[in-house]
Amino acid sequence: MMPIIGLTSYGYLEQHTVSAYYDYHYAVPKEYIDSVKRAGGVPLLIPANGNDWETLWPVMDGIIVTGGTDVSPAHYQGNINNNYVQAIDMERDITEIKLMRRAVALKDIPMLCICRGMQVLNVALGGTLHAHIPDIRDIDLHRGPDGGWTLHECIVQPDSRLIHIMGAERVSTFSGHHQAVDRIAEGLDIAATAPDGIVEALVAPEHPWLIGVQWHPEKSTENDPTQQRLFDDFVFAAEIRKKNSSGRGQA
């Protein structure tokens, strides 16, 4: 059987889904689903609030923590006094932080953390974030002029797991964020950076498969094999876990 991949949903206040019938949605952008299916996985939505992930844990073979709204500074600064922090979803923050800590503690289930997901990973393990990149860089490479997507290069560390997966030292990435990793949590290593030095990828060396990327690989997997390889390797790790594991969900 194909591995089941849990994907954390965007919060219901984040979406621009248009519907004549419903005002709010828990949703995941299509590109995430396509990338997982292309790699041979079966997507499973994890609601962005509450503890449903605990019930789903026994059936999941891998987890993707998706992008989305800003992580609240309350989780790493003790306050939310920043004029540039946008659309905070505390329910989603709390849900994903709990899920992340469980996955890291068990060192068992493969996990891919994308954009906001990488930031949640760092915060969940005790790291901090820059709340607004323009506060620390004169030129912002990480968002377009309209605050949307932009493309920029990332430099992958030559000795990292990530370079063996992606097969390239320099990769072109879709980016659309204004927060970034500041102090790196214990147990995480830098795996890639942007030309301006902003951290673009983190790995957990003590975990079988735990990688965070600050960019959005799902945006270009259809036409960029380098980015699809990230999903391929992740889903393959989930498949191996599915074959080898027994008694899941009893932790």
- Choosing from 14, 96, 200, 218, which is the catalytic residue? 218
218 is a catalytic site residue: yes
Q: Is 98 exposed, middle or buried (0-12, 13-18, 19+ CB in 10 A)?
A: middle
Annotated active-site residue in 132, 177, 216, 239 = 216
Q: Phi/psi zone of residue 239: left (φ > 0), alpha (ψ -120 to 50 degrees), beta? A: alpha
**Residue 135: DSSP 8-state:** G
113 is catalytic: no
Cα 3 to Cα 47, 121, 125, 235, distances in angstroms: 19, 23, 27, 7
216 catalytically annotated: yes
CA distance 91 to 48: 7
Token reading at 91: 């329910």
Residue 248 CA: distances (Å) to CA of 241, 243, 244 = 10, 12, 10
Collapsed DSSP state (helix, strand, coil) of residue 129: strand
Distance in angstroms (rounded) separating the CA atoms of residues 108 and 102: 10
Q: Which of 14, 75, 115, 239 is catalytic?
A: 115
Q: Which residues are catalytic?
A: 115, 216, 218
